[in-house]
Amino acid sequence: MYALLAAAALVTGMITAEDTPLPGCTVRLTSARYSATTLSDVAGKYRFEAVTPGDYEIEFELSGLQHERRSVTVTEETPTIDTVNLQLAATNCSMSFEPCTEEKPKDRWALPACADHQLDLALIDAMKSGDRSARDLLLRRYQNAETWHEQHRLGGELLRRVSNDGAIWNDLFEHAANAVRFPMGGDDPSPEFEQWCAERELDPVVYWNMAYEALFAVSEDPRSRDLLVQALRTDDQSLLDAAIIGLASQHDESSLIFIEEALKRIPEDAGSLAQWLALFKSARADALAMQYIDESDRADYYELREQQ
């Protein structure tokens, strides 16, 4: 009878990660007779209304962060649960291929801190699930990013997801266009690129790698189509990879004629480049790919096709 007669309570709390308010976190409050789920808001806060007093399990979950579960007793005194600071999921940056470092970035050219990288991944997942507060927080993180790598990653995710992405697009496209303008081909920059970098006091290899990241960041956006087609006309395999992957992500089958021209021009690399045609997931792309992929490599092609 107590469960039927007791006054309902309001359960509230806050979630953080690295002591930063964490939006978009899934919070579940359950007992033998009760189950409810909510998401934390832009300030990392959550609430459950009309909760019958009793013993409950409360769970906190967001991709990239450790799952947290606690036992709580709900009373009529409107309990506020202690702030939960979720920890990053276990990762060893030195033993993995995560583009991050355990150290604080020394300058704009360094890798981002792993704590920032993992939090970005968690917020990106939340944004893709429709959480607007996560999108707004990612926009602020983009504007305040300490490294080019983090800024380009966030900028690419925010394109077409914020109401006015013109400034983000312009920032990314400027560097992406330079990657195509100055193809590296091998390991040595061209004399023109070396001169261009010298005038700006830039390291050619470091800058080009940054510009290449920007190219990948814009490659899923249809506005990059002409730039990607231009990249297909170079002999830089990195640019060719980025171009085919980007055009495939755009599902732009009209670009297959340009991809075919590139494959014919560099037959020695055509087989490896044609593997990326699997990302189109189309019969036309498959037919083109089979002209260049050895029979022994076709299983890998179709495995890639199924994974995406």
Cα(214)–Cα(201) distance, rounded to whole angstroms?
20
**CATH 3.40.50.20 is the classification of domain 2-86:** no
Residue 72 bridge partners (DSSP): 56
Question: How many whole angstroms separate alpha carbon 189 and alpha carbon 191?
Answer: 7
Give the DSSP letter string of 78-141.
--BPPPEEEPBPP--GGGS--S-BSSPPSSTTSPPBHHHHHHHHHHHHHHHTT-HHHHHHHHHH
Please give the DSSP secondary-structure letter assigned to residue 276: G
- Domain ranges across the chain: 2-86, 93-307
> The tokens 């927080």 sit on which residue?
137
Q: What pLDDT is stored for residue 169 in this prediction?
A: 97
The mean pLDDT of the chain is 84
Beta bridge partners of 36: 29
Instruction: Give 243-297 pLDDT, tens digit per residue.
Output: 999 999 999 999 999 999 999 999 988 998 999 999 999 999 999 999 999 998 8
Burial of residue 294, with CB atoms counted within 10 A of its CB: 0-12 exposed, 13-18 middle, 19 or more buried? exposed
Per-residue pLDDT of the chain (308 residues; tens, 9 = 90+): 333 334 577 788 888 876 677 766 778 888 877 788 777 775 678 888 878 888 888 888 775 567 788 888 887 765 567 766 666 544 332 222 346 777 888 899 888 888 888 888 889 988 988 888 899 999 999 999 999 999 999 999 999 999 899 999 999 999 999 999 999 866 678 999 999 999 999 999 889 989 999 999 999 999 999 999 999 999 888 899 999 999 999 999 999 999 999 999 999 889 989 999 999 999 999 999 999 999 988 888 988 888 75
